[in-house]
Homo-oligomer: A and B are copies of this chain.
Amino acid sequence: MARKRITPGKIRLAEVAKLAGVSPITASRFFRNPEALSVGKRARVESAAKELGYVPNLAARALASQRTEVIGVLIPSLTNNVFADVLRGIYDALDGSRYSIQLANTRYSILQEERLLRLFLAQKPAGLIVTGINQTADSRTIMESVDCPIVQIMETGPAPVDMMIGFSHFDAAKAAISHLLDRGYRQIGFLGARMDPRVQRRLDGYRSTMSEAGLFDERLIVTTAIPTSVTLGGTLFADLLAKAPEIDAVFCVNDDLALGTLFECKRRHVAVPDQIAIVGFNDLEFMASSVPTLSSVRTNRYEMGRNAAMMVLETLDGRRPAESVIDLGFSIMERQSSARRS
């Protein structure tokens, strides 16, 4: 008949319980909720577990308890430095907790995102961190019907699925353009790549601010769906210059484009900021050490990841975070590349 699938040396919870002189269920409770045990048993189970080198079997735990200790993270890109920082924050926050991370890459496709969402939710994650607020209608329905904590990161907006942490890309772009206007620049170009929803909102912010100043001109906008790169920054800037040679400043939707623009200026012997001012976005580390130093919009990416993970943890602990929507803001880092027009 059916075999006995004996596993010889393996230490199971039952062994720990036996050594501690308690029932398996009591030993189990030690790991889920040690407070529920009397002090004596708690110590006995603890030392028994340590003595045997017990490591819980997560699959068995997940099967029996009908939930996992995995927090799903959906981000659009693994290469983008921006997400590297966010991820680092998430990993740091979850380090040492009993939760692990399941990471997936949507490649900027909301269809892919929906597919991954279904995949994740089928395994009953403990929590979920998703990027942005532009999910498919189906994704939204799915997320709303799920009872695990969900944090939307990278931006803020109305109607969070559950929780949200980020900042307003519209306002950030507005502030960058206002900064340039304030420093005396008028013909401000816009360089955009990839054009994901957040970049679109930066474009909206640019448009709105320029219009309010009576300076809006469609010719000043150069965008592409191509993924961003430093080289692309140079190319886009060259395009802009060809279309609108009169420009006196450029707002780049990220720092790679800004650096590429700076190099292209060098190549063309265009003085920065005397002839062209440059402002980037994200404030990556190199912006402060280029020559000239490059102005940028600082965003709090590490904190975003860290706080998002902490919001999930708090919710799982039963302590609902004070705020379910957190605006981390941004700040304009004013450097040489956008010094006041002389």
Encode contact with B along A84-115: 1 for CB under 8 Å, 0 otherwise.
11011001000000001111110000000000
- Which chain B residues lie closer than 8 Å to A66 at the CB level? 7
A90 to chain B, nearest CB (A): 9
A85 to chain B, nearest CB (A): 7
Contact between chains at B79 and A68 (CB < 8 Å): no
Contact between chains at B230 and A286 (CB < 8 Å): yes
Encode contact with B along A283-309: 1 for CB under 8 Å, 0 otherwise.
001101111000000000000000000
- A291 in complex: contacting residue of B79, B101, B103, B266, CB < 8 Å: B266
Whether A87 contacts B78 in the complex (CB less than 8 A), given A57-B63, A59-B62, A59-B123, comes out as yes
A121 to chain B, nearest CB (A): 9
**Taking the complex as formed, is A137 at the interface, i.e. its CB lies under 8 A from any CB of chain B?**
no
State which residues 165-214 of A face B: CB under 8 Å: none
Contact between chains at B85 and A230 (CB < 8 Å): no
Copies in the assembly, this chain? 2
Contact between chains at A78 and B63 (CB < 8 Å): no
Contact between chains at A286 and B267 (CB < 8 Å): no
Residue tally, chain A, CB below 8 Å to B: 45
Contact between chains at A285 and B229 (CB < 8 Å): yes
List 12 contacting pairs A-B, 8 Å CB cutoff, sorted by A: A59-B60, A60-B63, A78-B88, A79-B85, A81-B84, A88-B105, A229-B285, A230-B286, A231-B288, A256-B286, A259-B286, A267-B291
A308 to chain B, nearest CB (A): 15
- A289 in complex: contacting residue of B81, B231, B286, CB < 8 Å: B231
| A-B interface, 3 closest residue pairs, ranked by CB to CB distance from nearest | A59-B62, A230-B286, A266-B291
Expressed in whole angstroms, the Cα–Cα distance for A100 and B105 within the complex equals 12
A256 to chain B, nearest CB (A): 8
Encode contact with B along A45-75: 1 for CB under 8 Å, 0 otherwise.
0000000000101111011001010000000
Contact between chains at B291 and A263 (CB < 8 Å): yes
The residue in A57, A100, A266, A289 that gathers the most chain B C-beta atoms within 10 A of its C-beta is A289
- A290 in complex: contacting residue of B58, B85, B263, CB < 8 Å: B263
Contact between chains at A84 and B91 (CB < 8 Å): no
Expressed in whole angstroms, the Cα–Cα distance for A100 and B100 within the complex equals 13
Q: Which residue of B lies closest to A123 (CB)?
A: B58
Expressed in whole angstroms, the Cα–Cα distance for A326 and B256 within the complex equals 33
- Which chain B residues lie closer than 8 Å to A256 at the CB level? 286
The residue in A7, A66, A78, A118 that gathers the most chain B C-beta atoms within 10 A of its C-beta is A78
**Taking the complex as formed, is A76 at the interface, i.e. its CB lies under 8 A from any CB of chain B?**
no
Contact between chains at B88 and A84 (CB < 8 Å): no
Q: Which residue of B lies closest to A81 (CB)?
A: B81
**Taking the complex as formed, is A132 at the interface, i.e. its CB lies under 8 A from any CB of chain B?**
no
**Taking the complex as formed, is A127 at the interface, i.e. its CB lies under 8 A from any CB of chain B?**
no
Q: Which residue of B lies closest to A291 (CB)?
A: B266
A92 to chain B, nearest CB (A): 9
Q: Which residue of B lies closest to A233 (CB)?
A: B289
**Taking the complex as formed, is A122 at the interface, i.e. its CB lies under 8 A from any CB of chain B?**
yes
